[in-house]
Structure 1
Amino acid sequence: MSEWRLYGVRIRIHLLFWAVIGLSLLMGMFTEMLTLFIIVCIHELGHVAVARELGWTVTEVQLLPFGGVATMEEAYATDPLDEIVVALAGPFLNVLMMAFSWFCWYTGFWTEEWAVFFLKSNLIIAGFNLLPIWPLDGGRIVQAVLCWYLPYRSAAVSSLATSTLLAALMLGVASLSLHLNIALVALYLLAINIETFLRFPYQFIRFLMEKYRRHHHGEKQEVRALTVSPTAKAIEVSHLLCRGCTHLVYVKGTGVLPEEQLLHAVLFEKKHDTNVNQLF
């Protein structure tokens, strides 16, 4: 996998992308492949531009044959609506490019054949990325929507489990219908989802760390009340924390425990199995 840096963002091109480029050269379709590469880059630039406008730190963009994956540091504990806006930024640029291709055909600047190819390419890339499979844009949107109604841990685990099943189904259907290219993409998505699922405990700690950092920097967020039993373990209560908000944890019969104090106990004092009524 090759990589370089642009304005502090690491850009990586997956080996599958180079394989597809090599195949396109053998088939005499380098111009079409180069066009797809440019479309994917513009798609990812949409994510990066909106994320930076929201103040997020973009650490990496990985380019794949079917799109790309942008990694942002703040994507764990931020407002779910911000995540949805960032996820939709890429497909939105695809829609603009589809309108651009129609305009170029209408004015006679492009031939109908090339305009249709450009339009269909954008439609396929946008449509595929909106599939509800992690880490595609659609999968990120599904997880963000779930975060409105569920604690972060429950929302993330549910979306990853669903994504894994959908990727496996996609692989099965593509294999049975002998669509090798789709099967390879589905296999890649399945592997990514399994890896993410296995690494989720680490990702959850990242979520807690991001919430603690926001407290430390005094960032203002919506405040929610959370009622728990005095015998609930600190780690169990952390599993109830939601994304994009601050909690006041009401411990029955004891008092109100600030979220920052709970996070400090879990992250730095290693009091995972301590009853929350003992954290006062």
Structure 2
Amino acid sequence: MWVRLINEWLPRIRIRIHLLFWVVIGLSFVTGNFTEIMTLFVIVIIHEMGHVAAATELGWTVSEIKLLPFGGVATVEEAVASQPLDEIIMAVAGPFMNVTMILLAQFLWWAGIWSADWAEFFITSNWIIAGFNLLPIWPLDGGRIVQALLCYLWPYGTAARFSLGTSVVFAAVMLGLGCFFLNPNLVMLAVYLLFINMQAFIRFPYQFIRFLMEKYIAGQEHLPLRSVSLSPDVTVKEAAEQLRRGSYHLFLIRGPEGGLLAEEQLLEAVLFQHQRDIAVSRLL
């Protein structure tokens, strides 16, 4: 797996470095913490490579890795319309790498290769990075896991909007705690997470269109069948809101002039025929 990852995927992945990353590096020189800061970023990169390895095994395309002042984000192209379980596996892969590094550090400490102080710093750093990433805030790993779990209960649009809305609330609470305890690092993290979640919420209509397009391109007839019963006067747009990740939908239109409507027919009407506001019964 790792050989294929290095040979096939890494040359195609763009690595973007946030401007504040360089500010943190500069401050580390001034404060004499360069080794510690660089160690943290190595941990972050290994964490992100766990995501990349999992995405590779799932057949997804990782387009870029963003290095931020307090972590990293791997951007995956095929994640929107995929199986929720695949999303969970991909999200868990990052913290799994942190646990692996913790076990390795414990071994190096017991073997006398690392000092107790350095092993403790390395282990603590991994726990902090893994724990932070498992917070239920999108796009952190925990937020992705929560959103994927919600997709088992609700259609994608409902699950994603609820996930982003709760992420805004959690980020706002984090910001309040950071201000109360006068913690600048927590404030910076909260402001960033609050900004990207509000931005994602505003841009969600475009994200939803991407979800619909990925379902249409994938041709997911091989997925488990889910039947959806609809009133004949429900609009095409409202019917599209019933679509879920990891399922192929067959719509049962009730009434004397009702019938069956396949998922691809609905997607064509939404994406290409500009028929979002007509009744689904007119597609029969």
TM-score, normalised via structure 2 length: 0.95
- Structure 1 residue 66, shift from structure 2 partner: 2.6
- Whichever residue aligns with residue 107 of structure 2, its letter is F
Alignment of 1:252 with 2:236, yes or no, is no
Deviates more, 1:77-86 or 1:63-72: 63-72
Of 230, 233, 247, 1:231 maps to 233
Equivalent residue, structure 2, for 1:100? 104
Alignment partners' CA distance in 1, 2:157 and 2:45: 32
- 8 Å contact from structure 2 (residues 66, 73) kept in 1: yes
Any stretches of 5+ residues in structure 2 without a counterpart?
Answer: 1-8
How big is the shift at 1:65? 2.8
Please give the alpha-carbon distance, in whole angstroms, between the structure 2 residues aligned to 1:16 and 1:176.
Answer: 24
Contact 2:221–2:248 (CA under 8 A) maintained in structure 1:
no
Q: Secondary structure in 1 aligned to 2:249?
A: strand
Partner deviation per Cα, 1:128-184 (whole Å, 9 max, x = no partner): 000000110000000000000000000000000000010011011101110001101
RMSD between superposed Cα atoms in Å: 1.1
Following superposition, the deviation at residue 6 of structure 1 comes to 4.3
Count residues in correspondence: 274
Q: 1:60-98: CA deviations, max 9, x gaps?
A: 111123321111111100000000000000000000000
Name the residue aligned to 1:274: 278
Deviation of the 1:214 alpha carbon: 1.0
1:16 shift after superposition? 2.3
Match of 2:210 in 1: 206
For the pair 1:186 / 2:195, whether they are aligned, the reply is no
Conservation of the 8 A alpha-carbon contact between 1:63 and 1:69: yes
Assess if the C-alpha contact under 8 Å between 1:66 and 1:128 holds in 2. no
State which of 118, 122, 132 in structure 2 corresponds to 1:118: 122
Secondary structure at the counterpart of residue 78 of structure 2: helix
SS in 1 for 2:228: strand
Q: 2:67 aligns with which of 63, 70, 77?
A: 63
- Residues of 2 paired with 1:16 and 1:170: CA distance? 20
Task: Give me the TM-score of the superposition, normalised by structure 1.
Answer: 0.96
Identity, % of aligned positions: 58
**Cα drift, residue 9 of structure 1:** 1.0
Contact 1:62–1:68 under 8 Å retained in 2: yes
Query: Structure 2: which amino acid aligns with 1:70?
Result: A
Of residues 29, 35, 53, the one that matches 1:31 is 35
Aligned ranges 1:78-93 → 2 under 5 Å: 78-93=82-97
In structure 1, stretches of 5+ residues that fail to align are none
Question: Residue 222 of structure 1 aligns with which residue?
Answer: 224
Structure 1 CA distance for aligned equivalents of residues 222 and 28 of structure 2: 51
Runs of 4+ in 1 over 3 A off after TM superposition: none
